[in-house]
Copies of this chain bind each other. A is one copy, B any other.
Amino acid sequence: MNRRSGHESRKRIVDAAVKLFSQSGFNGTTMRMIAKEAGISVGGLYLYFKNKEELSLYLIKEKLNEFYSKVLLPLKEIPSPSQALKEYFTKALEFAKENRELIIIHAKQQGFTFGIEIKKEFFKKEREILKEIITRGIESREFKECEPEEVAKLLMNIIGGYVLSVVVEPENLFKPEVCIDILLKGLLKRSNL
């Protein structure tokens, strides 16, 4: 019998699951496969995760939280709205690129639809943060008059598009600078050009 700390075992399972889910999708990955990859018995899996679904959900939640604390939260500290948006794009796209495996898991898990409640909540917070930045930009006359809510949505959709391309067609990934440039030059007031 293999003796390991609980923490160690848990990590092994998570790593194995990330690898396999992203390779073969949720349905294409069996619990036996995960157990084998993690070097743990099938039964052992169930000591750490109630079932397969819960394991998958855990992976998703974990990544969402990381994104929130690494990308979104720091945005609040940036005084310049345009600077904040640049930062948002740079960081978010980079994050997507670096976490390809996990994004694929999101994708293959019911087409990004798994854990939808959690995700919606998350998106709402993201939207709020962006809205606030844009509103600040309008107030400071950096940005032209526009509907902050709509623009926030657009920005998030662009990130979404990027995420989708990461999964489906990496060759179609655009350069962040190009995106930011086009977006900003349109958002900035004529007098600022």
Contact = CB atoms under 8 A, between A and B. Distances in A.
A163 B160 CA distance: 9
Interface in A131-165: 146-147, 150-151, 153-154, 156-165
Contacts of A113: 104, 107-108, 167-168
A174 B157 contact: yes
A2 interface: no
A155 to B, nearest CB: 9
A172 B128 CA distance: 12
Contacts of A162: 157, 161
Contacts of A178: 146-147, 150-151, 154
Interface string A162-189: 1111011101111100110111111100
A46 interface: no
A163 to B, nearest CB: 7
A25 B26 CA distance: 13
A106 interface: yes
Contacts of A107: 107, 110-113
Given A111-B112, A156-B161, 8 more contacts: A27-B27, A107-B107, A113-B168, A120-B171, A123-B169, A146-B182, A154-B178, A160-B165
